[in-house]
Amino acid sequence: MRMRTRLLTFSAVALWTASAVLAQGMGPGPGMGRAGGWQGNRVDRLASFLELTDSQKIAAKAIFDDARKALTPLLPAVQQAQQALRDAEKTATSEQQLQTLLTLAAKATQAMAPIMGIHAQAEAKFYALLTQDQKDKLGKLNGLMRPGAGGGFRRGRR
């Protein structure tokens, strides 16, 4: 039973990580397939919140567009690995099948690693564009979000 709990925890973390990265606009997910979608709005929201200059807006859009183009070809492998893991979770009953889940979770995590790297590079490039005041403001915004119950995010204390 301990093995199953550890396995499910590991699987949940791997899937949550993938979901978090995709939800941050680095790739299409449910409801994000439209041109622009969440990603297009992200720069607008950041521009408004951080009071970005026109040149910062143009550079930010280019950074996030380049990142999206770089990771788009990687998404099918991630989606396949996640689906294989979800499918196997539904039928795993024996200890051997539970071990297979660990292997599938590791494959899903390995498939996600390049996307997480692209995302981190884009975030670093964006951060480098900001003035110190903008960095401080962004830090406060990021501090309002913290892991919450159920693996999601919720507003932090002010």
pLDDT tens profile 13-39: 555 555 444 444 444 443 334 444 445
* 148 occurs within a structural domain: no
- Calculate what percentage of the chain has a pLDDT beyond 70: 65
Read off the DSSP letter of residue 151.
G
Total domains in the chain come to 1
Question: Of the given ranges (76-90, 108-122, 123-137, 143-157), which has the lowest mean pLDDT?
Answer: 143-157
* 103 occurs within a structural domain: yes
What per-residue confidence (pLDDT) applies to 39?
52
* 16 occurs within a structural domain: yes
In degrees, to the nearest 5, what angle opens at C-alpha 155 toward C-alphas 86 and 83?
10
What per-residue confidence (pLDDT) applies to 99?
85
Token pair 């693996």 is found at 151
What is the tens place of the pLDDT at every residue in 119-148? 999 999 999 999 999 999 988 887 765 444
Contact (Cβ atoms closer than 8 angstroms) between residue 53 and residue 130 = no
* 157 occurs within a structural domain: no
Is this structure's pTM higher than 0.75?
no
What per-residue confidence (pLDDT) applies to 142?
76
* 32 occurs within a structural domain: no
* 149 occurs within a structural domain: no
**Could you count the other beta carbons within 10 Å of the beta carbon of residue 124?**
10
* 43 occurs within a structural domain: yes
50 lies in which domain range? 2-27+37-143
* 151 occurs within a structural domain: no
